[in-house]
A and B are shown apart, each in its own frame.
Chain A
Amino acid sequence: VIIINKKELPLKKARNYALISFLMWEMLAGNFSIAQEVIFKETLQRFELLSGENKHYFSPTESIKIALPDNFDEQMLSSIVIEIDAVDISEMLQFDSKHIIYTPALAMTADTHELKITRYQKDGSIKELGVWNFNVRMSQLVEKYSFAADTQLNGNYRVDEKNTGSPLPARLQSDANSQIGFKIQNGYWYADAQFDLNYTSDKENRPTKRTIENSEFLVNIGNKYINAKIGHQNVGQASLIMDNFRRRGVSVEGKIPSIHSQVTGFSLSSRDISGFGHGLGVSDRQQRVDGYSFSSSPISDSPQLLNLSATWISGRGNDGDNFIYEFENVEDPNTPITASEKGTAWSLATESLLFEDKLRIHAEYAETKFDFNPLDNFSAEKSHAENILINYTTVIDNGISWNAGANYQRIGTFFKSLANRGLPNDKQLSKLFAGVEWQTANVQLSSEQQRDNLDNLAQLPKTLSNLDSINLNWSPQLQNNETWLGTPTFSFSYNKQRQYQNSSPSDYDFPATNNDVINWQASSSFNYQTNSWGLTLMDTDFTDHSGVQNNSKIQSVNLFTNLIFAENITLSPSIQFDQTKDLITQFTSIGLTYSLQSSFSFIPQKLEGSMSVVYNKNETSDLLTRGRNLAFDLALNWRVREATPNQLGIEIALTGTYNDFIDRILSANSLETSQIFLTATFTLPSRIGATAQ
């Protein structure tokens, strides 16, 4: 029997005689790099993974036994490396005359794991002596199962308060939260779910009108070929028509593993809904986006060589106002909101990594058809967008590597997708970039040009923006890291933008765009064994020749430190200074913020505390603003009983917050507030089944 690539080839097959002849010839010719891949079972021995207590799987803490080859020289042990999931476990092994035994130091997760034995050879190559994939299951019936519910109940008593307004919440309140989830897996099938629950007795502090509310949830069911998701999710790869679109809904994904392909059908809410309201998010047809996405890497041996993806969406609705705010979302009082916008879109993209992954080519084309008001008689707007990126990056050779690339992007004037509303339209970008990395330093340069009014509309001006930037980073490796420099890192960036209007409509009565921005930033950080500090300086000059925005200059300094004392006190002070000078009015605005975060432990894990102080001062030379704000809060926590799985934990806390705002211009705005609470926290972490590490 010949074993090649872990597959046994029967000798009787005639075609293998030719192969054997070829291999033998290669061996005789001294080409051992090929011959080494061949192991003759009868003449050479090999390692063998032995079955565990159960024939087809191991339990999470079960020892793993590997049979040694006959006549195995124990001196070879020092030259072999044994890994589980790429973690070298060689120093944790036990040996007897015929076996290597590994007793997991950390309980293995119920999953498929890879055990690999390799030998590092004198010529620098790594020879693989054996690779096995094995399953870890929690039981014969179910491969893996777990349930967790982390429930926390807080009883809060407001001991004292000052100037907190009225009506005040009840002096005694309670709130609770729980994160609940389960996971079950057997064979190819799996199901998991997770959702949060929140309760607050105070109506004012509830996110919605419900007493008990959920924010997000996700249920996931599937196997090797199909996967269904219900809840908040992102679908498919990011594209020009679908990006940052995490919405509640339903999706079903079909997979073809042999060609790395998947097709997904989905139906998601267009709005950023949260809570129990709106159910699965798909019942409202006026606020729903339906679509399909497809992705395939048809070259199965080298999937990175070509990836194709396509997305099509269609739907109605708008963003919502939960965690999104649209400044342009001006609703026409004469138009029902439920039919405010409607659109379809599709995109086609390819991604290739060529020449040993050094050359990356990404190309995408997309079209949208968007109706801003389906109720009027006007037709939907059609537009298209393209994006092409080419990037070549070399590997480090003699401490030097370089990269270079180009990006062209065109987003049409009326390009708008329901699932990527944040994408700016009417923009063409042409960009060149290159960089060099040498030892511990690297420099990156880029130059880009942007233009608008891509449809050459006679009523609109045309604006050109040129942006050049340079970024430098240096992390010197010092012989001695125990000096005041520790391990230092320095970086510097310079950006320059020139923006001007190169064409105006005939009756354009607004000032023409004409501005310059120059910005530089220098920063450094110094890291020690436990402490660190850093400094950042920034300077920006803005000149608007059009006179619409005032010319200005901003300078800022940021100094930060992280300190640990005796392992039980941490201090993180920082200072932020900003000065903005209006070069037209000559008025200056100064902002100064001191902040100090600290945590301390009187009796470790029993009596601990934390504190934060933020002092903020703002003033302008025109005397329109002159004030300062001091915010201080403190917490002392006494852990009466530590929570353990399925056992209640109790903690008592005394917490206080103080805020003092002084307005030196309008003293009526000044306000000093404070609140002190005594809180009892009950924590119950429930666990059933596996607990992954």
Chain B
Amino acid sequence: MKITVKAILIILNRYVFKILNSKGQVMYITNINFANAKYLHRMTSVYAALLIMSLSIQQVYADIIQITNSNQPSSVSLSANSQSQVVWRVSQRSVNAGQATISSLSGRFYALDGTMLGQNTTLISSSRLTQLRNTTLFVLNETLVIPLSITRYAQKIGSSRVVYQRTFSDSQGGTSLTSTISFKINNGSVASELMIKRIQMQFDDGRSGGIFGKNIEFNASAFLSYKGTGLLDYSWEIASPPSTKGKPIFFPLVTRKQYLFAGGQVTLQSPILPAKRVGTYLVRLKLNGGNRTKNFPVIRYTINDTVSSATIQRIEKLMPRFPLANAQLMPTTEFNWKAITGAAAYQLEIHTKPIRDINPLGIKQKQPITGVLIPASKTRLTIGEVSRSYLVSGTFYYWRVIAINDKKQIIARSEFRRIKF
């Protein structure tokens, strides 16, 4: 059998090797995704030999006359398994009309020097009705996983590409033809284009779900791992009761556009999540734009009326007056607040950071760094030198006031306000 390399065509930065037999029929076609012609001479003779060897087993008399292919993406990552959508287009000239099946039992991975890297045993096939002496196109779609170990093996032996080869056979004529496609090894991101790799969701107490008390302030966080730099367009979405009692309807709590700088890791924090109504809530981070078809993780929480309340006693909101938020704590700074009916004492508390109302068991109870307890006849105080000695100059603290009744129970509590010492 005689094989002649008919032509090398340059089409859109891509070399296409068409190999024709003596009858002028296309025996073989492959493409190499070299962007620049100057790299042509670097194609190793071994790779060329590999192609010739693969062709030498073909018969001149072939029902399969041509195979073209494409892969998207055409690169493989050195940091994880890679996936590519490969399309094989097999043209068959029928010698018998009727049902024909084009199939490939397995695929093989090679390095550019011809070293076999591994095998993919997935069968792909396509069946169609064919007409006598007509050319029929069979399209075989393959979702190809290129294991990291294959890519790493290729890289270790000096290959800049992973070559994937399949042999297709025709059920009618029993002929077969081989085609290859190559994947360029890269670091997972072209030109540092932004690629999200991983999202981990949780609430700010570390849980990824659970029951929270009514009116408690808490957030959700998403830990994002990514490669590259670029625009992240995302929304924190929530489905609240009553919709979660029927068909949950998500609506955006907030939509943000944020450029991610180099670094590979960012923590996105949601606004304070709603906790005024009892029931179940669903929270998710939705990435907008691009081809975001993934089902993003959803974390759920339930608001219970009495969870986190130690005494079950309804806690009133105490209204602090001064100092205002972000004030400087001076020796003369006076704390004052609005009186609460039924209070027997007030306790000013200074914390290093805002704390949640504790759970009924006191398991997570955190004591203030310092504070002052005064009788309810007063609603203002300045903190003394001894209390100030617990504070570090230049540090932000958070203060609040609690009101206590004569049954030694908390009956009112203010929000935290930030203050700088």
8 nearest A-B residue pairs (beta carbon):
A424-B264, A692-B362, A509-B35, A465-B262, A148-B360, A487-B324, A215-B209, A328-B80
Known A-B contacts A177-B302, A179-B307, A183-B362; the reply to A332 vs B147 at CB < 8 A is yes
Contact at A692–B375, with CB atoms within 8 Å?
no
A51 interfacial by beta-carbon distance below 8 Å: no
Q: Which residue of A lies closest to B194 (CB)?
A: A549
Known A-B contacts A86-B371, A106-B404, A372-B147; the reply to A158 vs B245 at CB < 8 A is yes
Q: How far is the CA of A499 from the CA of B259 in the complex (A)?
A: 14
Q: Which of B153, B226, B241, B299 has the largest number of chain A CB atoms within 10 A?
A: B241
Contact at B373–A92, with CB atoms within 8 Å?
yes
CB distance from A458 to the nearest CB of B (A): 7
Contact of A460 among B186, B252, B261 (CB under 8 A): B186
A350 interfacial by beta-carbon distance below 8 Å: no
Size of the A side of the interface (Cβ < 8 Å), in residues, is 181
Contact at B223–A576, with CB atoms within 8 Å?
no
**0 or 1 for each of A264-275: is its CB under 8 Å from B? (1 = yes):** 000000001010
Known A-B contacts A181-B360, A215-B208, A481-B322; the reply to A681 vs B305 at CB < 8 A is yes
B386 interfacial by beta-carbon distance below 8 Å: yes
Task: Provide the residues of chain B in CB contact with A104, threshold 8 Å.
Answer: 408
B374 interfacial by beta-carbon distance below 8 Å: yes
Q: How far is the CA of A378 from the CA of B81 in the complex (A)?
A: 14
A139 interfacial by beta-carbon distance below 8 Å: no
Q: Which residue of B lies closest to A340 (CB)?
A: B81
Contact at B185–A424, with CB atoms within 8 Å?
no
Contact at A196–B39, with CB atoms within 8 Å?
no
CB distance from A536 to the nearest CB of B (A): 11
Contact of A687 among B245, B307, B360 (CB under 8 A): B360
Contact at A244–B200, with CB atoms within 8 Å?
yes
Q: How far is the CA of A83 from the CA of B323 in the complex (A)?
A: 24
Known A-B contacts A177-B304, A330-B81, A459-B185; the reply to A323 vs B247 at CB < 8 A is no
Contact of A497 among B229, B349, B372 (CB under 8 A): B229
Within 8 A of B (CB), among A384-433: 395-396, 401, 413-414, 421-427, 429
Contact at A422–B198, with CB atoms within 8 Å?
yes
Task: Provide the residues of chain A in CB contact with B42, threshold 8 Å.
Answer: 506-507
Task: Provide the residues of chain B in CB contact with A43, threshold 8 Å.
Answer: none
Q: Which residue of B lies closest to A326 (CB)?
A: B198
Q: How far is the CA of A649 from the CA of B42 in the complex (A)?
A: 81
**0 or 1 for each of B361-381: is its CB under 8 Å from A? (1 = yes):** 111010111111111001000
B118 interfacial by beta-carbon distance below 8 Å: yes
Contact at B373–A89, with CB atoms within 8 Å?
yes
Known A-B contacts A334-B120, A475-B420; the reply to A328 vs B202 at CB < 8 A is no
Task: Provide the residues of chain B in CB contact with A457, threshold 8 Å.
Answer: 78, 155
Q: Which residue of A lies closest to B360 (CB)?
A: A148
**Interface bin, chain B:** 35 or more
**0 or 1 for each of A300-333: is its CB under 8 Å from B? (1 = yes):** 0000000000000000000101111111111111
Contact of B186 among A175, A475, A510, A629 (CB under 8 A): A510
Task: Provide the residues of chain B in CB contact with A286, threshold 8 Å.
Answer: none
Contact at A515–B229, with CB atoms within 8 Å?
yes
Contact at A422–B265, with CB atoms within 8 Å?
yes
Task: Provide the residues of chain B in CB contact with A177, threshold 8 Å.
Answer: 211, 280, 302, 304
B140 interfacial by beta-carbon distance below 8 Å: no
B9 interfacial by beta-carbon distance below 8 Å: no
Task: Provide the residues of chain A in CB contact with B194, threshold 8 Å.
Answer: 549
CB distance from A131 to the nearest CB of B (A): 13
Known A-B contacts A181-B361, A396-B393, A517-B261; the reply to A150 vs B306 at CB < 8 A is yes
Contact of A477 among B242, B327, B361, B375 (CB under 8 A): B327
Within 8 A of B (CB), among A327-379: 327-335, 372-373, 376, 378
Contact at B242–A687, with CB atoms within 8 Å?
no
Q: Which residue of B lies closest to A218 (CB)?
A: B363
Known A-B contacts A91-B374, A605-B314; the reply to A105 vs B148 at CB < 8 A is no
A293 interfacial by beta-carbon distance below 8 Å: no
Within 8 A of B (CB), among A643-693: 643-645, 649, 651, 653, 655-657, 659, 673, 675-677, 679, 681, 683, 685, 687, 690-693
Contact at B375–A92, with CB atoms within 8 Å?
yes
Contact of A272 among B208, B295, B362, B374 (CB under 8 A): B208
Contact of B327 among A81, A244, A424, A487 (CB under 8 A): A487
Contact at A323–B81, with CB atoms within 8 Å?
no
Contact at B312–A687, with CB atoms within 8 Å?
yes
Contact at A655–B277, with CB atoms within 8 Å?
yes
CB distance from B253 to the nearest CB of A (A): 8
Within 8 A of B (CB), among A459-518: 459-461, 463, 465, 467, 475, 477, 481, 486-487, 489, 495, 497, 499, 501, 505-515, 517
Known A-B contacts A552-B231, A683-B306, A685-B306; the reply to A325 vs B198 at CB < 8 A is yes
Contact at B326–A422, with CB atoms within 8 Å?
no
Contact of B363 among A183, A459, A499 (CB under 8 A): A183
Q: How far is the CA of A481 from the CA of B190 in the complex (A)?
A: 54
Contact of A92 among B152, B276, B374 (CB under 8 A): B374
Task: Provide the residues of chain B in CB contact with A677, threshold 8 Å.
Answer: 242, 245-246
Contact at A509–B36, with CB atoms within 8 Å?
yes
CB distance from B260 to the nearest CB of A (A): 9
Contact of A323 among B295, B297, B392 (CB under 8 A): B297
Known A-B contacts A631-B251, A633-B242, A687-B312; the reply to A519 vs B227 at CB < 8 A is no
B75 interfacial by beta-carbon distance below 8 Å: yes
Within 8 A of A (CB), among B1-56: 33-36, 39, 42
B199 interfacial by beta-carbon distance below 8 Å: yes
Task: Provide the residues of chain A in CB contact with B371, threshold 8 Å.
Answer: 86-88
CB distance from B9 to the nearest CB of A (A): 18
Task: Provide the residues of chain B in CB contact with A509, threshold 8 Å.
Answer: 33-36, 39, 184
Contact at A512–B191, with CB atoms within 8 Å?
yes
A261 interfacial by beta-carbon distance below 8 Å: no
Q: How far is the CA of A182 from the CA of B362 in the complex (A)?
A: 10
A450 interfacial by beta-carbon distance below 8 Å: yes
Q: How far is the CA of A480 from the CA of B268 in the complex (A)?
A: 37
Q: How far is the CA of A275 from the CA of B227 in the complex (A)?
A: 33
A542 interfacial by beta-carbon distance below 8 Å: yes
Q: Which residue of A lies closest to B78 (CB)?
A: A460
A48 interfacial by beta-carbon distance below 8 Å: no
**0 or 1 for each of A555-597: is its CB under 8 Å from B? (1 = yes):** 0100000000001000000001010100000000001010001
A45 interfacial by beta-carbon distance below 8 Å: no
Contact at B389–A126, with CB atoms within 8 Å?
yes
Comparing A4-12, A16-24, A163-171, A252-260, the segment that makes contact with chain B is A163-171
Known A-B contacts A165-B247, A182-B361, A685-B306; the reply to A332 vs B81 at CB < 8 A is yes
Within 8 A of B (CB), among A52-91: 61, 81, 83, 85-89, 91
Contact at B231–A173, with CB atoms within 8 Å?
no
Known A-B contacts A83-B386, A146-B360, A323-B299; the reply to A554 vs B184 at CB < 8 A is no
CB distance from A592 to the nearest CB of B (A): 10
